[in-house]
Amino acid sequence: MYLNYKNKSRTYSWEAINKKQSNWWVTHHLSKPNQSKNKKTMANLFIKQAKQYAQGRPSYPPHLFQFIASKTPQHDLAWDVGTGSGQAARSLAEIYNNVIATDTSPKQLEFATKLPNIRYQQTSPTMSSAELEQKVGAESSVDLVTIAQAMHWFDLPVFYKQVKWVLKKPHGIIAAWCYTTPEVNDSMDKVLERFYKNPYWDSPRQMVDDKYKTIDFPFEAVDGEDSTGPFEFENERWMSLEDYFTYLRSWSAYQKAKEKGVELLSEQIVKEFKRAWGEDENGGQKLVKFPIYLRIGKVGA
């Protein structure tokens, strides 16, 4: 069985990764006025669509976390920043002894799955070092920091300063990933491409479109790799057409358009999606693929 992790010409088996394994949402980084307004707007958008976000957003494949864990020397404490409704935190909790999952949105956290080794923590838009230590951990105490589909919103210089303070030194790991638009079939993907090209996306979305290639990432390559990525993974999920629409409604651009009185899922575009979805086979469900792009690095001594 091979996972879809690609680095140049190399493909890694899930089994090989298992053998190698050694037994802030928009928080803390609103220092620049122009970014502060943007991030507060983003937070408000996801607060208003928290239920759709929890229902519509895809989970992440096990082999993504197996790969990340194989690069983490210890598995005591992970910090999931911008956890939302806890999609990544749930998977981290299967590998790491303790997970701290933070988000600025209490509404998002309401929909997070509660597990005994996950501590969900609402944080304010800005945190002092004392608050960081109180709510997350002491200096050099965290094995892994993860950011799933959120880092493009951050004030990165401030965020990275916090990350480098809290990660264990040396070799504490930061892993940030995004996923791009889902893939169903040629007909659906063409309709989605037209739907996606709307004027309601905020500028940080471009970093996702660029697959995190252009995002600043000042960390060292992890052991066994010659770069910090992006490394490509893939998640697959069986979805009905209504599931697919729920996912589209979880987009920040959809919510932003709706606030301006624009329904992006108009009657016409819904008809086009239905036509492209095709025959009602497999109980009306289709296998939807989500390409995932991971940046991963470590701190030095």
Q: pLDDT for 235-252, tens place per residue?
A: 999 999 999 999 999 888
- Note the pLDDT of residue 252: 84
Torsion of CA 271, 273, 278, 283, to 10 degrees: -100
- Strands across the sheet containing 231-240: 10-13, 2-7, 231-240, 285-298, 173-179, 144-148, 77-81, 98-103, 118-122
Using the predicted structure, report yes or no on whether residue 117 has a pLDDT greater than 50: yes
Q: Above 50 in pLDDT, residue 66? A: yes
- 5 pLDDT exceeds 70? no
Q: Is the pLDDT of residue 68 over 50?
A: yes
CA distance linking residue 103 with residue 83, whole number of Å? 6
Task: Reply yes or no on whether the pLDDT at 65 is more than 60.
Answer: yes
Is the pLDDT confidence value at 163 over 50? yes
What are the two backbone dihedrals, phi and then psi, of residue 79, each rounded to the nearest 5 degrees? -115, 115
Taking the CB of residue 291, how many other CB atoms lie within 10 A of it? Answer: 16
Q: Render pLDDT for 79-103 as a digit per residue (tens, 0 to 9).
A: 999 998 899 999 999 999 999 999 9
Closest CA to 185 of 246, 270, 244: 244
- The domains found in the chain, sorted by start residue, are 2-182+203-237+290-298 (3.40.50.150)
- Report residue 18's pLDDT band, with 50, 70 and 90 as the boundaries: very low
The answer to whether the bond into 230 is cis (omega within 30° of 0) is yes
Using the predicted structure, report yes or no on whether residue 281 has a pLDDT greater than 80.
Answer: no
Bridge partners of residue 294, in order along the sequence: 177, 231
**Token pair for 102:** 């933070």
Percent residues over pLDDT 90 in the chain: 58
Preceding amide of 106 cis, omega within 30: no
